[in-house]
Amino acid sequence: MATAISALSALAQETRLAIFRALVRAHAVEDGRGGLAAGEIGEALSVPPATLSFHLKELAHAGLVTSRREGRSIVYKADLDAMLGLTGFLLDDCCQGACGTLSPCAVAPVKSAQKECV
């Protein structure tokens, strides 16, 4: 519950939500690839460096972004596993259990013949 509240709180701010969405668009599955340098994010969203740093720190603290150093730049990447965990938590009891599990830990969701999830 605390992890979900932290992540939702971090995303409940316009600039942080825009940053996360930009990082999702720049995502690449491979480790060490994808993401955006802090300067690229700031330029694309017209966010001053000090403000951007604050927002990136909040997203990282919530576990929604990771970072890596590339030369003199820090490249940020959306942590999609964390987002899948959050959405899994939010949807875990979908349809009062009639849809089966939607948790990312499950191998495959169980479908019910009685109810169909939307």
Q: What is the pLDDT of residues 2-24, one digit of tens each?
A: 999 999 999 999 999 999 999 99
**What span, in angstroms and rounded, lies between the C-alpha atoms of 38 and 41?**
5
pLDDT in tens, 99-112: 665 555 444 444 43
Beta strands 36-37 and 73-78, pairing class: antiparallel
Task: Tell which residue, 39, 51, 49, has the closest CA to residue 15.
Answer: 51
Kindly report the pTM of this predicted structure. Answer: 0.78
